[in-house]
Amino acid sequence: MALRNDVTKSSEMLWLDVLDSEEKGDREDALSKAYSVVDLEDSHSDAWMAIARLNLPPTTRGKPMLPDLKQCSKAMSAIRKVVLHDPSNNLGWELGGALLVDHLGMLEHALNWWEDCRRHDPYAVTPLVEQIGILVRLGYYEDCVEKLEELFSQDMDAPANKQLLRMHSVKDMVEKAAKMETSDVFKPNNPKNPRWEIIRRLKNRKPITQNLFLLTFTAPIVFIIGTFAMSAFGSSAIGTVSVFLLILFLFALISRLTMGLLNSLNRHALDLDRAIDFESTTGKVCIPDDIRKSKLYLSMIKNRMPCLNERLDIIVTSNEKMSKNWSINIP
């Protein structure tokens, strides 16, 4: 990269100019000056972090602006520089992980990304939680169990409250997913997997949303119980309050207990979602053409990030078939 006009200034003076331009809202000038900083001092991790941030759309109120493939690629290149020169930069690791998983769909790269993070901080909780989240999406439940044992071992750093919630959340996610696929873990790269025929039969049925399920299934049950309870105990103020609290408790309880049913009803959609993850991870195709043109497929990719959809378009156009023997390399 050619040196810019600010070369006569020191890197630290230029860095102050970056902060000043960004504070004034001139993102383009701030980005140009940040590049000038790293031209002079490649190890300036703060400038690389600014480059990553400024290559992504600004944070806005209301509906967020989502980055495209070019923006994500530039930001990811800068983030790699951040953690190279400052491995203790947790925000850098977290932003890189989010870009790789949520926006680029490169789950195997994300596994290795978090493993690199663990080499610098082997007892940190977040990298293990993120790795488990990736593995459960791909159906590697046995490997999840091994990492869960490590996650809850006494050797790990004491988690903050938010981290503790995430630890238990990912543990529940593994248990529920493994329970749903006790005998037939869906591997989309096998074209003869019987789950493909089920997906094909249901390819014109969109997944049931959680809100619709709560409205049509959970709410009527709670309403019926609440009506009987109100008739029996609602004659006094205390009784009315008690029934109200009972309804809230039952709604939360029944919602939690019936989530397994919702997942079973949406199993075809969850399987196709995994197939999309396999394609974005490998850069190769495994979804049959008739399913890719279906109402179900279109509804699933509609929920994915614009950057990922750009990558999927490239992958589908290349039409390179995924090997049925493919397996992710787990660090």
Tens of pLDDT, residue by residue over 203-256, are: 999 998 878 777 777 777 777 877 777 777 666 777 777 767 777 877 777 777
* DSSP sequence for 51-76: HHHHHSPPP-SSSPPPP-HHHHHHHH
pLDDT score at 181: 77
pLDDT tens-digit readout, 283-305: 999 999 999 999 999 999 999 99
Are 260 and 272 members of one domain?
Answer: no
- Give yes or no for residue 84 having a pLDDT over 60: yes
The total of other beta-carbon atoms located within 10 Å of residue 288's CB is 16
Question: Where residue 36 falls among pLDDT bands split at 50, 70, 90?
Answer: very high
Residues 31 and 82 in one domain: yes
User: 147-156, pLDDT tens digit by residue?
Assistant: 999 999 998 9
309 and 283 share one domain: yes
Mean pLDDT over each residue of the chain, to the nearest integer: 89
Domain identity same for 34 and 140: no
Q: Is residue 190 part of a domain?
A: no
**Looking at the 3D structure of the chain, how many domains does it have?**
4
With CA atoms as reference, report the closest residue to 263 among 301, 208, 205: 208
Distance CA 325, CA 150 (A): 28
Q: What is the pLDDT of residues 44-73, one digit of tens each?
A: 999 999 999 999 999 887 778 999 999 999
The CATH number of residue 100's host domain is 1.25.40.10
pLDDT attached to residue 235: 64
With respect to residue 63, please indicate whether it lies within any of the assigned structural domains: no
- pLDDT at position 42 is 96
Residue with tokens 């850069």: 283
Q: Is 321 helix (H, G, I), strand (E, B) or coil?
A: strand
pLDDT at 281: 97
Confidence of residue 175 (pLDDT cuts 50, 70, 90): confident
Domain assignment of residue 117, yes or no: no
If asked whether residues 32 and 99 sit together in one domain, one would say: yes
Q: Is residue 330 part of a domain?
A: no
Please check whether residues 260 and 279 belong to one and the same domain: no
The position carrying tokens 């503790």 is 164
Q: How confident is the model at residue 131 (pLDDT cuts 50, 70, 90)?
A: very high
Task: Give the mean pLDDT of 182-200.
Answer: 90
Whole domain around residue 141: which residue ranges? Answer: 123-185
pLDDT at position 276 = 98
